[in-house]
Amino acid sequence: MKVLVTGGAGFIGSHVVDACAHEGYEVVCVDSLDPAVHPKAPDYLRGDVDYRFEDLRSWQPSADVENVGAIVHLAALGGVTRASREPANVIDANCRGTARLVEYASRLPELKHVIVAGSFSVYGSNYEYACPECGVTRDASRQESDLASNRYEVYCRNCNKEARILPITESAPPSPLETYGASKYMQELCFRGFSRAPVTVLRFSSVYGDRLRLDDGEATIIARLAGWIRAGEQPLLFEDGRQIRDWVYVGDIVAAVLSILKGKPVPAVVNVCSGVPTRLTEACESIASAYGVSCVPKILGGYRTGDMRHCLGDPAALKRLLERDPVSFKDGAALAFRPDSGRFLEGNKPCAEFLSHTA
């Protein structure tokens, strides 16, 4: 089968491309090599993959890509910070690019499946919390008076007890808070009503793995933590550093994509996350241990308006798809943050070994 991977020169896309080529699929990749992402051409591009270095917005597919059997749509301009700096470009690239992909996909006679990379950013702050006394609440707002006295958790408005975040499920209504999340939701919506083939949206939490760009100043928190620790610098953590995040190992994304391509039944939307709540301070420990260094983060205290204290997904659908638990950050960090990571590894060894062990 011929598989089209958009964004296949990027961090996640390159792993998907490696795995698809390894599985024997014929791989075509469309990627604009966006200069902000790729100041120079990546060194992991493959000789056995048909790269089309084009922007989806202006791509004119040739007749030899009319026989594509599956599309994995990963192309997007990423990042909340970038989207706030250049909203028109991000909306245009992500939404118009996806709309053009829909036009192309609508006329593919052999298309069996479309996989769209979604994001937890579509959920915004739509999380529910459980108070041990009062039950479930949607109100996760934090009081200035608490924050000023270094009480950073979410406290129940009724009884003031600490409330626990509940893992968000795919049925939570999307409510993106900013431009990037809005563009990711629009990418999902572009495929509404698409009838040529089933569409699955894989909503990724925050992803880590080999080839994550650790030197990108606008990167996700996990890339920044790893970048600091790898450079021997002290990670800087706001609040008390005990914010909770749910990071997913790139190998689990690849495994989910492969399962779908092999025809495993899958719902229309799947959270791709670990479901394991991990505090930033714990993440620093795991990364430092993977690099074989010691690390004491600098706790800055304070609080930035709009920062989310917790982020956690329910991976039940992913578990059914993978027929196993996703990897916890503690285990995944050892795969992702090795002293030699960031450099090209022949045949993408860590991810390939991971997949062969978990298949």
- Binding interface with Zn ion (CB under 5 A): 131, 133-134, 156, 158-159, 161
- From the list 8-16, 60-68, 294-302, 340-348, the region that binds ligand NAD by CB under 6 A is 8-16
- From the list 2-10, 254-262, 277-285, 340-348, the region that binds ligand NAD by CB under 6 A is 2-10
Among 206, 201, 214, CA closest to 245: 206
Q: Whole-number minimum distance, CB 282 to Zn ion, in Å?
A: 26
* Residue 247 CB contacts under 8 Å (≥ 6 apart), including other chains: 205, 206, 207, 208, 222, 273, 274, 278, 283, 329, 332
Rounded to the nearest 10 degrees, how much is the dihedral formed by the CA atoms of 346, 351, 353, 355?
-140
Q: Does 86 bind ligand NAD (CB under 6 A)?
A: no
Do you know the residue count of the chain? 359
- From the list 203-211, 238-246, 313-321, 347-355, the region that binds ligand NAD by CB under 6 A is 203-211
Using only C-alpha atoms, the chain has a radius of gyration, in whole angstroms, of: 20
- Specify the DSSP class assigned to residue 93: I
Tokens at 21, concatenated: 């080529």
Which of ligand NAD, Zn ion, none is residue 56 near (CB under 5 to 8 Å by kind)?
ligand NAD
Q: Whole-number minimum distance, CB 315 to Zn ion, in Å?
A: 27
Q: Check the CA dihedral 126-132-136-138 and report its sign.
A: negative
The contact pattern for ligand NAD, residues 127-146, with x = CB under 6 A and - = no contact, is --------------------
Q: Does 11 bind ligand NAD (CB under 6 A)?
A: yes
- From the list 168-176, 204-212, 225-233, 278-286, the region that binds ligand NAD by CB under 6 A is 204-212
Whichever of 76 and 182 has its CB closer to ligand NAD, that residue is 76
* Residue 255 CB contacts under 8 Å (≥ 6 apart), including other chains: 322, 355, 358, 359
Q: Is 207 helix (H, G, I), strand (E, B) or coil?
A: strand
Which of ligand NAD, Zn ion, none is residue 13 near (CB under 5 to 8 Å by kind)?
ligand NAD
Q: Is 8 helix (H, G, I), strand (E, B) or coil?
A: coil
Binding site for ligand NAD (CB under 6 A): 6-7, 9-13, 30-34, 37-38, 55-57, 74-78, 93, 97, 117, 119, 184, 204, 206-207, 220
